[in-house]
Amino acid sequence: MIVAAVQFTEVYMNKERIAIASLPSQQGVSYATQPCPWSAADKTRISVATLAREQGVSYATARRWSTVGLFGLLLPVFFIGGRRYTYRENFATWNEQVNAVRSGQSVVAAAK
């Protein structure tokens, strides 16, 4: 039995995110495509730099939201090519939670 390591690469094809799996074969490398398992097709990706511009804050402030947080809540981000990204939906949820904590509500109550 031969066990081969599979390497997934995320690419875009016709504006749809897919994963390409590189599988070793006898004649080189064979490729299999499948829908990307970590794809969030229903979410809108936005860079933290763009988010900072839209919110009227510096990039350093928006970056701190993801590293230090605000009121103990971290903005969820992910990296693509060394750049920080989040989803607009995640920012909206995070913003609601921060405003709830600021007004004295619990985060659980804000999520409902």
Regarding whether 52 and 30 lie in a shared domain, the answer is no
Regarding whether 67 and 91 lie in a shared domain, the answer is yes
Q: How does pLDDT run across 23-56, given as a tens digit for each residue?
A: 445 444 444 444 444 455 668 899 999 999 999 9
Regarding whether 56 and 16 lie in a shared domain, the answer is no
Q: Kindly list the distances between the CA atom of residue 66 and the CA atoms of 11, 20, 42, 84, in Å, as whole numbers in the listed order.
A: 25, 29, 22, 9
Regarding whether 106 and 52 lie in a shared domain, the answer is yes
Distance between CA atoms of residues 96 and 70, nearest Å: 12
pTM score of the predicted model = 0.59
33 three-state secondary structure: strand
* Full domain range(s) for residue 24: 1-39
Query: Which residue bears the tokens 């097709």?
Result: 41
Residue 71's contacts (CB-CB under 8 Å, 6 or more residues apart) are: 98, 101, 102
